[in-house]
């Protein structure tokens, strides 16, 4: 078909050439015929090459297909053979298992009890501080627990000896060398003091036993100065009398929880912006209140010192009132009384100035705490609306903010109220002394006039 199409194209091309030759009288009919024959020969040669290439590729593909079929047949036969072998092996295992069960007899119960006891003891020892003093006790127990054969006499002896060792060491307070993982992740050998299975410390710092790495490591945050001092006393115990120490009866769980307990700074941070504002109010009002209280106490001391002197001084309120009296000794009683009242009234604002600011701050602090409480509860209900009540940690942030701001508000209000009470009481006491001294001056002046 390709030859016919090519021949047609050649004829058409020859016709075109013929037409062109007739027009130009330069190409003969014989040349056109020769050209057509040459094109047909070239096309036939090209088709022969294509056909040979196709046959070669078809034969190669057939050989590959045959090889794949042979491989599949071989794999299928091997699979059938392996399946038959597997079935035979499984049947043989069943027979051998039945023979083993029959041969074990009453020892089968011993086998199960030994495996169960080894498993339970291995779990207990993996989290025991005592394992830091006696490493490598867990692996033999796990081998016994996972063994498919009857335990040997040596394995049974190791089982109960390890159990007795654990029981005996729980009553001991000992110091030994152990590998301790530091905060930088490096292992060091340190002297460790252990109180039974309840506590271990080195250098006054408490340690916990990590069963994942089978090593001791320092607590990320120590329980407190009192507990650490008690640990040092136990470490330095000389053997005379008794010494008080601190233990963790939960065998490390309480110490681990102490690490999670927030510090004072972390607790304050839970209050958020409202909590920081309350503390700022407390700092400013408290500093001013203490300054004002000290100033009033100093003025009170100066007034009492002036009461023992006859010479008036400008450095205290009573001295200034005495100077006002001495400047108006020639006036009548009523005029002198007015002058002294005016002098007393001038001193009162100096004494009581700023006390209302402390009182206002003491009243505003709990209100700000209430504001933080409302904001925290709003956040809590928003979390409940979005995520539900399945995860309490989602609501913990809002509840913490609500409670912490309430506490901060009360913490700020209580000392400010006390400062205001002491300062205002001291100011009233000084004012009362000034009024009494002014009244005495007026009475003395009235007697001298009579």
Residue 100 inside a domain? The answer is no
pLDDT for residue 107: 65
More confident position, 182 or 168: 168
Q: How far is CA 32 from CA 6, 23, 139, 243, 430, in A?
A: 15, 15, 99, 127, 141
State what percent of residues in the chain have pLDDT above 70. Answer: 90
Do 283 and 370 belong to one domain? yes
State what percent of residues in the chain have pLDDT above 90. Answer: 18
What is the DSSP pairing of strand 173-181 with strand 199-202?
Answer: unpaired
Q: How confident is the model at residue 10 (pLDDT cuts 50, 70, 90)?
A: very low
Pick from 145, 171, 197: which residue ends a domain?
171
Do 397 and 444 belong to one domain? yes
pLDDT in tens, 332-382: 888 888 888 888 888 888 888 888 999 999 999 999 999 998 998 888 888
Q: How confident is the model at residue 284 (pLDDT cuts 50, 70, 90)?
A: very high
Q: 131 lies in which domain range? A: 105-171
- Between CA 176 and CA 193 the distance in angstroms is 7
Alpha helices in 261-354 (DSSP H): 264-269, 272-307, 317-327, 333-352
Do 297 and 431 belong to one domain? yes
Q: How far is CA 375 from CA 146, 174, 271, 338, in A?
A: 57, 54, 10, 56
Do 180 and 164 belong to one domain? no
More confident position, 51 or 17: 51
More confident position, 286 or 240: 286
Query: Is residue 224 pLDDT above 70, yes or no?
Result: yes
φ, ψ (nearest 5 deg) of residue 219: -65, 140
Q: How confident is the model at residue 285 (pLDDT cuts 50, 70, 90)?
A: very high
Cβ–Cβ under 8 Å, residues 420 and 382: no
Pick from 260, 288, 316: which residue ends a domain?
260
Q: How confident is the model at residue 14 (pLDDT cuts 50, 70, 90)?
A: very low
Residue 97 inside a domain? The answer is no
Query: Is residue 151 pLDDT above 80, yes or no?
Result: no
Do 298 and 438 belong to one domain? yes
Do 239 and 283 belong to one domain? no
Do 410 and 439 belong to one domain? yes
Do 180 and 40 belong to one domain? no
Do 331 and 362 belong to one domain? yes
Residue 89 inside a domain? The answer is no
Highest mean pLDDT among 306-315, 336-345, 440-449: 336-345
Residue 94 inside a domain? The answer is no
Q: How confident is the model at residue 303 (pLDDT cuts 50, 70, 90)?
A: confident
Count Cβ atoms below 10 Å from residue 76 Cβ, excluding itself. Answer: 10
Q: Is 180 helix (H, G, I), strand (E, B) or coil?
A: strand
Query: Is residue 389 pLDDT above 80, yes or no?
Result: no
pLDDT for residue 17: 40
Do 114 and 56 belong to one domain? no
Cβ–Cβ under 8 Å, residues 6 and 50: no
Q: How confident is the model at residue 7 (pLDDT cuts 50, 70, 90)?
A: very low
Do 188 and 135 belong to one domain? no
Residue 234 inside a domain? The answer is yes
Confirm whether pTM is higher than 0.75.
Answer: no
Pick from 137, 171, 205: which residue ends a domain?
171
Residue 20 inside a domain? The answer is yes
Highest mean pLDDT among 38-42, 83-87, 226-230, 250-254: 83-87
- Between CA 313 and CA 303 the distance in angstroms is 10
Query: Is residue 397 pLDDT above 80, yes or no?
Result: no
pLDDT for residue 281: 94
More confident position, 31 or 103: 31
E strand or H helix at 209, and its extent?
strand 205-210
Query: Is residue 409 pLDDT above 90, yes or no?
Result: yes
| Number of structural domains found in the chain | 4
The phi-psi region of residue 217 (left if phi > 0; otherwise alpha if psi is between -120 and 50; otherwise beta) is beta
Q: How confident is the model at residue 103 (pLDDT cuts 50, 70, 90)?
A: low
- Between CA 217 and CA 182 the distance in angstroms is 6
Query: Is residue 6 pLDDT above 60, yes or no?
Result: no
- Between CA 92 and CA 391 the distance in angstroms is 53
Query: Average pLDDT of 136-159?
Result: 82
Query: Is residue 15 pLDDT above 50, yes or no?
Result: no
Residue 91 inside a domain? The answer is no
Range name among 4-18, 66-80, 114-128, 254-268 with the lowest pLDDT average:
4-18
- Between CA 193 and CA 203 the distance in angstroms is 9
Cβ–Cβ under 8 Å, residues 441 and 322: yes
Do 158 and 223 belong to one domain? no
pLDDT for residue 23: 46
pLDDT for residue 184: 74
Residue 266 inside a domain? The answer is no
Highest mean pLDDT among 14-28, 74-88, 236-250: 74-88
Query: Is residue 8 pLDDT above 70, yes or no?
Result: no
Query: Average pLDDT of 308-322?
Result: 81
Range name among 14-23, 58-67, 170-179, 265-274 with the lowest pLDDT average:
14-23
Cβ–Cβ under 8 Å, residues 36 and 14: yes
Work out the mean pLDDT of the chain and round it to a whole number.
82
């Amino acid at each position: 078909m390709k030859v016919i199409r090519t021949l047609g194209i050649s004829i058409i091309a020859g016709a075109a050439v013929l037409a062109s030759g007739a027009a130009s009288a330069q190409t003969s009919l014989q040349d056109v015929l020769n050209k057509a024959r040459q094109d047909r020969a070239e096309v036939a040669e090209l088709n022969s090459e294509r056909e040979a290439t196709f046959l070669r590729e078809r034969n190669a593909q057939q050989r590959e297909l045959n090889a794949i079929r042979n491989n599949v047949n071989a794999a299928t036969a091997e699979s059938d053979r392996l399946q038959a072998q597997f079935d035979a092996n499984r049947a043989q295992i069943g027979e051998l298992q039945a023979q083993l069960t029959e041969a074990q007899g009453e020892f089968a119960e011993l086998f199960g009890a030994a495996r169960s006891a080894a498993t339970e003891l291995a779990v207990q020892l993996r989290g025991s501080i005592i394992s830091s003093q006696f490493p490598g006790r867990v692996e033999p127990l796990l081998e016994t627990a996972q063994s498919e054969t009857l335990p040997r006499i040596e394995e049974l002896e190791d089982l109960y000896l390890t159990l007795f060792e654990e029981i005996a060491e729980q009553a001991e307070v000992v110091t030994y060398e152990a590998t301790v993982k530091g905060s930088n992740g490096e292992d060091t050998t340190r002297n460790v003091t252990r109180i039974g299975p309840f506590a271990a410390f080195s250098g006054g710092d408490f340690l916990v036993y990590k069963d994942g790495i089978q090593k001791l490591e320092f607590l990320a945050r120590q329980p407190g100065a009192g507990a650490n001092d008690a640990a040092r006393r136990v470490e330095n115990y000389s053997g005379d009398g008794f010494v008080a120490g601190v233990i963790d009866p939960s065998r490390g769980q309480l110490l681990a929880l102490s690490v999670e307990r927030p510090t004072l700074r972390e607790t304050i941070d839970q209050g958020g912006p409202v909590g920081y504002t309350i503390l700022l109010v407390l700092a400013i009002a408290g500093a001013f209140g203490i300054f004002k209280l000290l100033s009033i106490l100093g003025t009170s001391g100066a007034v009492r010192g002036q009461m023992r002197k006859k010479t008036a001084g400008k450095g205290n309120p009573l001295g200034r009132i005495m100077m006002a009296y001495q400047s108006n000794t020639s006036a009548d009683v009523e005029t002198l009384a007015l002058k002294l009242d005016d002098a007393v009234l001038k001193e009162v604002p100096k004494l009581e100035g700023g006390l209302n600011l402390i009182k206002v701050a003491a009243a505003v602090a709990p209100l700000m705490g209430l504001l933080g409480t409302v904001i925290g509860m709003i956040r809590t209900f928003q979390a409940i609306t979005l995520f539900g009540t399945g995860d309490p940690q989602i609501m913990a942030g809002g509840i913490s903010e609500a409670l912490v701001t309430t506490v901060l508000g009360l913490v700020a209000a209580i000392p400010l109220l006390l400062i205001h009470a002491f300062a205002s009481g001291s100011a009233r006491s000084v004012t009362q002394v000034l009024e009494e001294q002014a009244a005495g001056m007026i009475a003395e002046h009235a007697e001298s006039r009579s």
